[in-house]
Amino acid sequence: MDRRPTPWILAGLALLLAMAAAALTRLVLADGPGLGMPLTAGPPAVSQADDLLLATNAYTFAHDHTWVVPVTKVFAVLGSWIVLVPATVGVVVVLARRGHGYWAWWVGLCGMGGWMISQSVKHLIDRQRPVWPDPFEVLTSPSFPSGHSMAGIYGYVVFGIVALALLDSRWPGIALITVGLLMGPSRVLLGVHWPTDVLAGWLFASAWISACGAGVLWVREWRRASTPQPADTPL
């Protein structure tokens, strides 16, 4: 049996990230009216100074540079379900057909579970989005955590990790990971999220993909122990 510590490392990382996400959620709720009740138009007092300052600076920068908003709207489309669902299904199918079943399971679990976590936490916390005098875009759905920030991690970063592992060239993987990481800040520049929404999205999604990775690797080890396979069996 392969006893590499990788699954345990991923499980530990998932736990740490989940604890950080829970702590940030607690901070956001600290001065709010409670679960299921919308917070004020601004962030809670405990994080108000940094959140409001960063959000205001980002909004001002985007307002002063006309190229910013069109770029952020490209990221908005890339992180939407219209793009991400077909992309995820396509990646899963290609991986499965090429014999990379465990990678396919990981991508599928990350995508489905990540979206469910995003929607569940959003409606549980029910935080309002920033309100600006001259908004670039007006959204009424809950703000915390940022769904696009999470999608950037459980979608494009996951695609990038797979590309780095399986492709000869590293550039596709690097490009995908870069897109995934930039998706979060783009939401603050567009004025539809607080910075803490983005940070929470990164933490929740990173915890989930780490947990999925640990689970898939444990299943692989259990199956290899039950049915010995050649050492060069593709992941």
> For 169-183, how does the pLDDT look when each residue is reduced to its tens digit (9 = 90+)?
999 999 999 999 999
Question: Torsion over CA of 148, 150, 151 and 157, rounded to 10 degrees?
Answer: 130
**Overall average pLDDT of the 142-149 stretch:** 91
Per CATH, the number for 6-225 is 1.20.144
Report the distance separating Cα 44 and Cα 87, nearest Å: 36
Mean pLDDT across 138-144: 85
pLDDT of 37 reads 39
Q: Tell me the domain boundaries of the chain.
A: 6-225
Q: pLDDT tens digits, residue range 102-139?
A: 999 999 999 999 999 999 999 898 888 888 888 888 88
CA angle, 163 as apex, 183 and 167 as ends, to 5°?
A: 150
Q: Is the pLDDT score of 163 beyond 80?
A: yes
pTM above 0.75, yes or no: yes
% of the chain beyond a pLDDT of 70 = 86
Which one-letter DSSP state was computed for residue 44? P
Residues 203-218 have pLDDT tens digits of 999 999 999 999 999 8
Q: What is the pLDDT of residue 222?
A: 79
**Is the pLDDT score of 46 beyond 80?**
no
Q: Is the pLDDT of residue 33 over 50?
A: no
Q: How far is CA 24 from CA 88, 105, 140, 159, 197, in A?
A: 29, 29, 22, 27, 9
Residue 34's pLDDT is 38
pLDDT tens per residue, range 57-86: 888 898 888 899 999 999 999 999 999 999
